[in-house]
Amino acid sequence: MKMISIAVPCYNEQETIPAFYQAIIPVLKQIGLDYEVIFVDDGSKDDTAKIIKDLANNDSHIKYVIFSRNFGKESAMYAGLSSTKGDYVAIMDVDLQDPPEKLIDMYNGIAFEGYDCVGLRRVTREGEPKIRSFFARQFYKTINKMSETEIVDGARDYRLMTRKMVDAILSVEEYNRFSKGIFSWVGFKTKWLEYKNVQRVAGETKWNFKKLLRYSIDGIIAFSTSPLKMITKLGISFIVLSFLMAITAVILAVVPKHIVFHSGWPYLSIVLVFLFGVLFVCLGVMSQYLAKTYAEVKHRPIYIEKESNVNKKK
Ligand code: UDP
Ligand code: MG
């Protein structure tokens, strides 16, 4: 019999795990395949680890991986995916913002319509702070302009995939993971189901503005090198500008009765300060890439496991 696996990243989710468990099991039973649910405790400080271990003790379909510390959702997703054995694999948030019943439509899309992946796309962002929605939209616009890999606006990490696609994702072993990009980069045929935003059942979002901004910058750096190319263009523009200024200066010097600047130094210092600013921004952009490259060449593991009841294939 074929198997469906669900990978669930959890960070301080003691309030939501019981509700999630209650909601997901009937759906999996309805699909009728063999199933497993893999909870990844991403270094929670609350009782998350204890709750998932208790669930696993009472239900052999439940597996868990407990991290040694908080590594972030990207690492938790990777650990979850790499622990799955199923022929079909889904990633799902534990806060029930990813409606479990959609799994049935996702399964039908793969099993009967020939897709490799069926994902969920939010068409509204109702219930989310307006400012967050605004910045999210701007982020998708920017990254899609800069990157050759398409990052679908509103696409969640929630999706069901075939084993082939999951193995492809796992073969991308980069340390700085931006899954929204990796899912798209590996290719395969994806169907999008649309749905309206759902609020989380309990607990709190783990994101704040600063974290989201960092996540956006990481995404751009991971999937585009155009900021680096822009630096070159900027440099060239300034050189062209300086030539134009030189020509203007010569003309002003030979044209009689021109307006003479009484003193040049304020202009000079403004130009200098501006150019130094530009220079440091450029250095900053380059450093971002350098820092990522540095992290990458160190080949550190994507996560460290403290405890688990998953028997790895390898
Ligand atoms: N999460 C995680 N590690 C983290 C932060 C979040 O595993 O460092 C999990 C979290 O438990 C949840 C999912 O990622 O299952 C989505 O997090 P959240 O609901 O806070 O994000 P939002 O839905 O607000 O984007
Ligand atoms: Mg959520």
Residues 214-237: tens digit of each pLDDT: 888 888 888 888 888 888 888 888
Domain that holds residue 36: 3-224+299-308
Predicted local distance difference test score (pLDDT) of residue 182: 93
Taking the centre of ligand 2 as the mean of its atom positions, its distance from the CA of residue 257, in whole angstroms, is 70
Answer yes or no: is 7 within a domain. Answer: yes
In this model, does residue 261 exceed pLDDT 60? no
Question: What are φ and ψ of residue 95, in 5° steps?
Answer: -85, 10
- Distance spanning both ends of the chain, measured CA to CA: 22
Answer yes or no: is 111 within a domain. Answer: yes
* pLDDT single digits (tens) 188-200: 999 999 887 777 7
Token pair belonging to 305: 């496991």
- From 10, 11, 21, the mutation candidate for ligand 1 (largest count of ligand atoms within 8 A of CB) is 11
Position of tokens 């649910």?
A: 37
Position of tokens 């003479």?
A: 260
CATH number, residue 93: 3.90.550.10
Our answer on whether the CB atom of 70 is closer than 6 Å to any ligand 1 atom is: yes
Taking the centre of ligand 1 as the mean of its atom positions, its distance from the CA of residue 217, in whole angstroms, is 18
- pTM of the full structure: 0.80
Taking the centre of ligand 1 as the mean of its atom positions, its distance from the CA of residue 282, in whole angstroms, is 33
Tell me the sheet residues that pair with 36. 5
Answer yes or no: is 289 within a domain. Answer: no
Lowest mean pLDDT among 130-139, 182-191, 199-208: 199-208
Taking the centre of ligand 2 as the mean of its atom positions, its distance from the CA of residue 246, in whole angstroms, is 57
Predicted local distance difference test score (pLDDT) of residue 253: 73
Predicted local distance difference test score (pLDDT) of residue 311: 81
Q: Of 127, 120, 194, whose CA–CA distance to 157 is shortest?
A: 120
In this model, does residue 260 exceed pLDDT 80? no
- The pLDDT-based confidence of 258 (bands split at 50, 70, 90) is low
Token pair belonging to 38: 């893999």
Ligand 1 atom nearest residue 40's Cα: 7
Answer yes or no: is 241 within a domain. Answer: no
* pLDDT single digits (tens) 118-127: 999 888 777 7
Tell me the sheet residues that pair with 41. 10, 66
Answer yes or no: is 271 within a domain. Answer: no
Answer yes or no: is 209 within a domain. Answer: yes
In this model, does residue 69 exceed pLDDT 90? yes
In this model, does residue 180 exceed pLDDT 70? yes
Tell me the sheet residues that pair with 310. none
Percentage with pLDDT > 70 across the chain:
96
Answer yes or no: is 267 within a domain. Answer: no
For residue 277, what are the contacts with CB-CB under 8 A and spacing of at least 6? none
Nearest CA to ligand 1 atom 22: 205
Ligand 1 atom nearest residue 71's Cα: 8
Answer yes or no: is 182 within a domain. Answer: yes
Residues 94, 15: Cα–Cα separation, whole Å: 10
The DSSP 8-state label assigned to residue 106 in this structure reads: H
**How many separate domains does the chain show?**
1
